[in-house]
Structure 1
């Protein structure tokens, strides 16, 4: 039987998790000079310097204007009003001369001045931050966005842009934490963050192998339960925990329920895994469903091999189930009950499967309780018993199945 290797799974993940289109850093806007600064507070030196600069500007001598302003700064003895007028003249010059460095200098001087009105402070800070990003001065950009967040702690766009800067700096923990705050801020404001925010958070967590993968993936499929997101999340889960065949079987069952088996390879792997675990009915059903969904052709060598091995076993396998039920009831442990439940699940008899899984849980020995409870929850989900399924999934503990139980709970909450 063909084996599906981890590199093949990794390749699938790379193909499935497409590049996320995130909002760009805020575009630079022309910063307008402020108004309302009282000229009567100009010092004698400051007033004289400004007169010289204004005459040069009126004559169209922009370099001369800047030289007069710099001369005044070098001479010293300026008060806050002088400095504000000089900074504002520089701002106007920067806009006229299209001089990014001069604009940043003027804006930074204005931000350092206590006379800058609060209404302008936020705008100026953003423009300085965007200019810093443009020249890859991330230290300044971070400082500016942190100031904006202090002023507006629940502004999701500011939080998003700071998260993107942290991402660019490869400061992944800070990027994830800040992006989470941005998503929460959107929710607090009564709107849902864009899907790309959730996807990027998950991609960051997955690439860095941080513990945030679980919560980030749950949030994505909770708020954006598309087939693609479910497929990506569950394939990431399989890869992250290095799932064995038994855990793969459990994961494939959720993918199938969520309509998230994706492309040909996962359908083939699911059918192959089911057959190898002694479940010809489930293997045949997966092949049939894949062909009906046009995900499989039925003509590929692996598909023909699975069908040829599974078909002769179906009649005897189904005929053996009533006897296995009796054996399971008398058995000292839950092993036979678990296996019989698996067979019933594969044939779509979820009520009988639930009976067997419940018996396996009750016998407590001979089976992994996390596996038994997880499969009991899955069978009850398929029968529509939400309360019973919820209780079973909540009883799943330990790594790695507890996380899969959480994914099932998310899916259960989405079922009509």
Structure 2
């Protein structure tokens, strides 16, 4: 079984994420540092009921604050290290130190130290709730920029819980999950994005669907992959998607490939796939073998006229087949009237349906439909799902798309006929169908 998506999208979060600079982070970090010590000095009564720093840490913290204001980032960092060495440092004092360290490290351009300080600040109970969302978002963006995807994955749910609703980060999250090896999570989140698009009556984009397909394929979710591949084929109309979708469908357990091979070829041609010489020759041979010489003749004539046939090792055999089917088609056309009389007098619908396909192969689609209607009325069909599938094909050829959709919906066979009817329906409803 094929296991590769023809157009594979590699997850590269950094290329589309709006970056956050350390200068921006410095502003975010410094916004909460300046008032901390000033408020304590100005309002000791209020500070008594709020978290506060002790006298032994206040002086070096003030010095660090002044150094930070003066742009002396390394000096501020040294002062903060000294504060952390003071015995019995409290959780609140660690929060203040972390807040200052975040601003100083960001100002200095020390990304690693800034990220470590930022994580510590966000995780404390002392951070004002209004700041939790923007600082979480800053941390996620910074982590992605520096390929620390595990940190970004860990922080995104925290960001959402704090009210974060960035569309950019929402779309990025499943890609990060895939990047960190959580393919099941990636499938879940990509699928949720697809579902949201469909619920809003929007066609999911090719990139989104491709990412979902890649994650499903990595997870070996064959059913999910095939469903997404169908969406890709239907919404884009691209031949690579259609080719793999049809091939994978034919590989499913229980698919009557030999009996339905001609129908597979017909579907491939309808969706715009170019058949190689071997398949064109095989299709013509199969059509001629079941009494459809006109369909076979057209295939061979088109193949030789386009240069697909007549070049390889099978050229002589193809020419011989063309001569035989051309003669058979002429005889067939000459006897159509007698054949139609015989079909209408037949005891069941098998002969009328066979004649209908022959008439359609000769280009007489409306006449074919009239004969097939007689066959439906007679009943007694040996393979009713095949008959319905063929009726739908002739209706498509006749331009009766609505009728064809109704016919394909009635095909229920578990032998591959219903699969083909479903793909015909997908094609006929495709926004990319020309």
TM-score, length basis structure 2: 0.75
**CA distances 1:60-101 after superposition (whole Å, capped 9, x unpaired):** 775553344345446455455x45543332223333444332
Match of 2:394 among 347, 372, 379: 379
Report the CA distance shift for 1:91/1:387 in structure 2 as closer, same or farther (over 3 A).
Answer: same
CA displacement 1:355-388 (0-9 Å, x = unmatched)? 4555555555453333222221221122222332
Aligned pairs for 1:301-316 (under 5 A) are 301-302=313-314, 305-313=317-325, 314-316=329-331
Partner of 2:222, secondary structure, is: coil
Residues 128, 17 of structure 1: alpha-carbon distance in 2 compared, 3 angstrom cutoff: same
Q: Secondary structure at the match of 2:314?
A: helix
| Deviation readout 1:25-55 (Å, 9 max, x if unpaired) | 4364223424256422562335334224335
After the TM superposition, which of the residue ranges 175-184 and 277-286 deviates more from structure 2? 277-286
Matches within 5 A, 1:39-54: 39=36, 40=39, 43-45=52-54, 47-54=58-65
Distance 1:152 1:359 in 2: 65
Indicate conservation of the 8 Å contact 2:357/2:394, yes or no: no
Deviation at 1:135, TM superposition (A): 6.9
Secondary structure of the corresponding residue to residue 367 of structure 1: coil
Cα contact 1:377–1:388 (8 A) shared by 2: yes
Q: Is the 8 A contact 2:262 2:286 kept in 1?
A: no
Distance 1:203 1:238 in 2: 21
2-side partners of 1:68 and 1:295: how far apart?
A: 82
**Cα drift, residue 181 of structure 1:** 1.9
1:65 equivalent to 2:56? Answer: no
Alignment match, 2:8: 19
Unpaired segments ≥5 residues, structure 1: 1-5
Distance 1:286 1:186, change over 3 A: same
Post-superposition offset of 1:155:
5.4
Alpha carbons 1:360, 1:367 under 8 Å: kept: no
**Superposition deviation, residue 106 in structure 1:** 1.9
* Number of the residue aligned with 2:360: 345
1:411 aligns to 2:427 (yes or no): yes
**What's the CA shift for 1:395?**
0.6
Change (3 A) 1:353 1:114: farther
Deviation at 1:394, TM superposition (A): 1.0
Are 1:200 and 2:229 counterparts? no
RMSD over aligned Cα, in angstroms?
A: 3.9
Distance 1:63 1:219, change over 3 A: same
**Greater radius of gyration (CA):** 2
Give the corresponding residue for 2:283. 273
Preserved contact between residue 370 and residue 396 of structure 1 (Cα < 8 Å): yes
CA distance in 1, matches of 2:162, 2:352: 61
Partners of 2:187 and 2:216 within 8 A in 1 = yes
Quick one: structure 1 residues 353 and 69, their matched pair in 2 at CA, closer, same or farther if it must change by over 3 Å?
Answer: farther
1:258 paired residue among 267, 271, 277 = 271
Q: Choose between structure 1 and 2 for higher RCO, CA contacts under 8 A separated by at least 6 residues.
A: 2
Could you tell me how far 1:120 is from its partner in structure 2? 5.0
Structure 2 partner of 1:178: 189
Quote the offset at 1:166 in angstroms: 3.2
Deviations 1:330-349 (A, max 9, x none): 54554444433333333333
CA 1:351/1:161 → structure 2, altered by over 3 Å: closer, same or farther?
A: same
- The structure-2 alpha-carbon separation of the partners of 1:114 and 1:284, relative to structure 1 and needing over 3 Å to count, comes to farther
TM-score (norm 1): 0.77
**308, 323, 326: which one pairs with 1:296?**
308
**Counterpart contact for 1:56–1:65, Cα < 8 Å:** yes
Contact 1:195-1:220 within 8 A present in 2 as well: yes
**Whole-Å separation in 1 of the counterparts to 2:164 and 2:72:** 44
The alignment of Structure 1 onto Structure 2 pairs a total of residues equal to 400
Q: Cα gap change, 1:155/1:95 in structure 2, threshold over 3 Å: closer, same or farther?
A: closer
DSSP 3-state at the match of 1:124: helix
- For the 8 Å contact 2:150–2:180, the answer to whether it is kept is no
